[in-house]
Amino acid sequence: MSAALSYHESDLGKQLCDARERTLALVSDLDGNQWFGPKLAIVNPPLWELGHVGWFQEYWCLRNNGSVVLSPSILRHADELYDSATVAHDTRWDLPLPSLDQTLAYLEDVLQRVLDILQRGDNKLDYFAQLALYHEDMHGEAFYYTRQTLDYAKPKFASAVPTAYAEGDMDKDITIAGGTMMLGATPQDGFVFDNEKWAHEVEIKPFRISRTAVSNAEFAPFIDDEGYQRRELWSEQGWRWRQDAHADAPAYWVKNGSAWLLRQFNEWVLLPPHNAVIHVNWFEAEAYCRWAKRRLPTEAEWEMAAATVPGNTMLKRRYPWGNDRPSGKHANLDGYAAGSAPVNAFPEGDSAWGLRQMMGNAWEWTADWFLPYPGYVVDPYKEYSKPWFGNHKVLRGGCFATRSRLLRNTWRNFYTPDRRDVFSGFRTCAIEP
């Protein structure tokens, strides 16, 4: 499964080709019924999702100028098949989808046409080409958690999860002095999504936040102390979810005698105690915090701890460690590991305040509902943010499967509080007296 595509000389063209190579690598080993899988509300059929990636790129780069659809698709009935805003989720298994070979040919045709336009130096396409690039990266991450949900093997290029743990004093809180900060992105940040716009002044009180994310070993005592059975630890909505889901541990945890096992894709392994806990939803994080007499950080607190510099909270970095592009020394990103790493790994990625892994490893739930910033104006892709305001919670930081080019300290992810199929964890704050 390969695409004979000519690389464009520009960085954008190379990134588009890189994203496509990753997409194809993530599905290259699927066969038979794996292309559809069971009908579930939390995943798409992989064959549909693959076609949707191509359709999105074609729609925004070749057919649309941001307000008007200018031409029909090169694939017959593509809009009726792949427009996620109009094609109901539960119908996607029953659509007359093109064959795999036809789908791959469609993706190759679309990408080559986009590269040809970029080759001619038409920078009018740059915004929409970046939109399509990051959209494909996000669906690449979705293919990871689809493989996890459906009990498929880990991607062939993903290595085993690192578990080596360096002893050290990592369990203490870091005190953040608080102050005035500009929350959000600025026009100087380049391409950003509409929910990051624009930076606005906020006042944040001093707070104490854990240096690392919650590990498996820290979460297990909550289960042992019957945290999932104690009604007083859960909100009303969270308790309803727990009962309906029959949840008594994070997703993919199973007790085997006195030991916990964890399913990583289609393999069962001993639970790595020092790795960041993942596959917990916002309700579980909230209940753990109540049990531990802690709380989740607000997203403004999270961004202050990740982005600002002690002594000058108006000065913000693009990444926790500074402005250098992410690399393997900074964070567990780009899908080369098949899961979370120990919470004290990657010391070179520390924030200026000394917090570890505020980017990569596990998405981190925050306390806040996903809401627009003041003066919010919707971008051309109207379905990206606006439909989800008010009923999703904000996550920050990225996970091991997130492409590094997607991320910056202002990036806002969002899921409903019941989702735990995604690679989500959390860190906590002290409750001040």
Residue 395: pLDDT over 90: yes
| Neighbour order of strands in the sheet with 267-270 | 253-256, 259-264, 267-270
Q: Tell me: pLDDT of 3 over 60.
A: no
Q: What is the mean pLDDT of residues 313-336?
A: 96
Q: How confident is the model at residue 160 (pLDDT cuts 50, 70, 90)?
A: confident
Give the C-alpha separation, 107 to 114, whole Å. Answer: 11
| pTM of the predicted protein model | 0.95
What mean pLDDT comes out for the span 313-322?
A: 97
Distance CA 167, CA 189 (A): 37
Cα→Cα distances 47→32, 51, 88, 327, 402, Å: 11, 6, 16, 31, 21
Task: Indicate the length of the chain as a whole number.
Answer: 433
Closest CA to 133 of 148, 118, 144, 122: 118
d(CA 271, CA 277): 10
Across the range 176-200, mean pLDDT stands at 97
- Structure confidence at residue 171 as a pLDDT band (50, 70, 90): confident
User: What average pLDDT score do residues 227-241 get?
Assistant: 98
Cα–Cα distances (Å) from 46 to 56, 193, 377, in that order, read: 15, 26, 33
Distance between CA atoms of residues 306 and 321, nearest Å: 8
Q: Report the C-alpha dihedral over residues 410, 411, 415, 417, rounded to 10 degrees.
A: -30
Beta bridge partners of residue 208, listed in sequence order: 175
Nearest to 273 by CA among 264, 263, 261, 255: 261
Specify the range with the lowest mean pLDDT, choosing from 7-21, 218-232, 276-290, 401-415.
7-21
Residue 69 is predicted with a pLDDT of 75
% residues pLDDT > 70 (the chain): 96
Mean pLDDT of the chain, nearest integer? 95
Q: Is the dihedral of CA 200, 205, 206, 212 positive or negative?
A: negative
pLDDT of residue 121: 85
- Sorted by where each starts, the structural domains of the chain and their CATH numbers stand as 11-149 (1.20.120), 158-433 (3.90.1580.10)
Supply the pLDDT for residue 7.
Answer: 35
pLDDT at 347 over 50: yes
Residue 6 pLDDT exceeds 60 = no
The strand pairing partners of 263, in sequence order, are 268
